[in-house]
Amino acid sequence: MGKKLEHRALAPAKGPVAESSGSLSRDKFLLARKSYCKLPAEVLRRRIGLTKERLQFGREGESAALTFLKKKGYRILEKNFRAKVGEIDIIAEQGGVIVFIEVKAQAGHEFGHPFMAITPAKQRKIIQTAKSFLARKRISDRPMRFDVVALTSDTPGSWKIELLENAFQV
């Protein structure tokens, strides 16, 4: 019964959607995503409180990650690759290896370290999306790896960036 009440609380509103300035819990997002799995991610985020400011924060984080990776010698092949199973933030090449990169940006450590957000389920989704990319681009017999870039920001425009190479394996 508790789940039904939670679902009703997240039901789509008629008319314009009010934006919330509160933080979005991971559980609330997952519950809503399950309920509205047919909606585009952008619409879903708006309905459950992911504000324009938070979307902008994520975009700034990805931009900082791109700059960081280029300085580290990564050649960017594609950004925000989408497939049926999911999305990969950045696909790059470094030293002949295709690198699939997940970017996690957070304002502080209130919800734990950004690396903690890469759950086994998220890893499986990234791996499946990487396989879709390789099939779509007809790439085979190339070494690949999965990296994660964690960004934390306590003040606007200032990032602490950490790179975890080979964060997980196929």
Domain ranges of the chain: 2-50, 53-168
CATH class of 53-168: alpha beta
Most confident of 43-57, 68-82, 100-114: 68-82
Specify burial of residue 126 (Cβ count, 10 A radius: 0-12, 13-18, 19+).
Answer: buried
Does the pLDDT of residue 119 top 70, yes or no?
A: yes
Query: pLDDT tier at 35 (50, 70, 90 boundaries)?
Result: very low
Show the tokens assigned to 91.
Answer: 């696909």
SS (H, E, C) 93-121: EECCEEEEEEEEEECCCCCCCHHHHCCHH
Show the tokens assigned to 36.
Answer: 């509205």
Percentage of the residues of the chain whose pLDDT score is greater than 90: 49
